Structure 1
């Protein structure tokens, strides 16, 4: 098994929806483009990643959304050293077709009170649903490591919630721990680095927006 030296998780640059939530009323979520600021974030990220990967090969997985594809294109990795696969299981949490701004804002308030992991948008997914498809993706990813010629790097270009859920599944965080974490900013990355002990560790933690709740340990 050829496990990669590092797995890099990247959140797309700022999109039209991050800058103006009324755009969801007239443009599908998957079709939102990067803003000028978002393109600048992707360019800065590209400089960091090209230096990080140097001349090593990279296996790339990208969410099928326009903003993630644009981020990857602007990152500008050497095409001769990358293998790119579009991966629908890494898409954003589905909120359900066209979105009414006021309804979405109300549902976000409900989600804050109910919990990001379990709350299901009326016509979309819960965080738990996204967790399940991330889990399925990880099974495929681990199988790919059986290839003795697997690249030493994996790059995943995706969304903030999906990044948190990826790490939750990988590191076996509890729901309470997940709920306490904030999304990374647009154009931010987190790196899972393979240590001498054969385990992966995050290069830096996610920020906390509140203290994790504790429901007590289950024994027996």
Structure 2
């Protein structure tokens, strides 16, 4: 079994944080650069698939669905499921710019995993919904009619937490990792016993508990 994780292309929210104050998070579009990133990622993902169709699970947000379209996978996307559990961490509805900055400082001091955003989610909440998704996905992938490869198009924090759950990483290690760049991928492979990742995540500090990604 294999899971290809892909972060969406650059979105308006990546270059203009005030966009979250006037546009719902789920509706933020890709920038022109994000569209180019998605188009450039298409051949790379096709090479990984090597002619074998994949089941595609995509966050229902505009930027993730646009990224998937930009890949232009054609028949290699055997089935496409818009999966709400793959959405980004919920920060509430339209955000106030002053409160947004305060919350970011509070979250950094408190810890990204357990800090609960007012009217939104904590990282732990995202982790919980991803646990349910991964349990179902692994069961589906064991069925003979399901492709052996799943492509997951999602968001930075969501992808980090998905790997935290799958590999059993500590909270301290999770909080020491950085998101993938836009349209960057990671490939997870199951050898029959356990999952492996092809490359580590970028890490901005050593994990305080000494845990590593391998």
Question: What band does the TM-score fall into relative to the shorter chain?
Answer: over 0.9
Please name the residue that 1:32 is paired with.
Answer: 28
SS of the counterpart of 2:188? strand
Q: 8 Å contact 2:126–2:161 — kept in the other structure?
A: yes
Structure 2 matches for 1:65-144, cutoff 5 A?
65-79=61-75, 81-144=77-140
Please name the residue that 2:53 is paired with.
Answer: 57
Structure 2, unpaired ranges of 5+: none
Structure 1, unpaired ranges of 5+: none
User: Structure 1 residue 212 and structure 2 residue 207: aligned?
Assistant: yes
Distance 2:42 2:97 in 1: 33
Distance 2:112 2:126 in 1: 11
Distance 1:156 1:79 in 2: 16
TM-score (norm 2): 0.94
Distance 1:215 1:53 in 2: 35
Q: 8 Å contact 2:141–2:148 — kept in the other structure?
A: no
Distance 2:99 2:63 in 1: 24
C-alpha deviation, 1:210, in angstroms: 1.4
Structure 2 matches for 1:155-170, cutoff 5 A?
155-170=151-166
Q: Which runs of 4+ in 1 moved over 6 A?
A: none
Please name the residue that 2:196 is paired with.
Answer: 201
SS of the counterpart of 2:153? strand
C-alpha deviation, 1:152, in angstroms: 2.0
Q: Choose the corresponding residue for 1:187, options 183, 186, 211.
A: 183
SS of the counterpart of 1:33? coil
C-alpha deviation, 1:194, in angstroms: 3.0
Root-mean-square deviation (CA, aligned residues, Å) is: 1.5
Q: 8 Å contact 1:193–1:201 — kept in the other structure?
A: yes
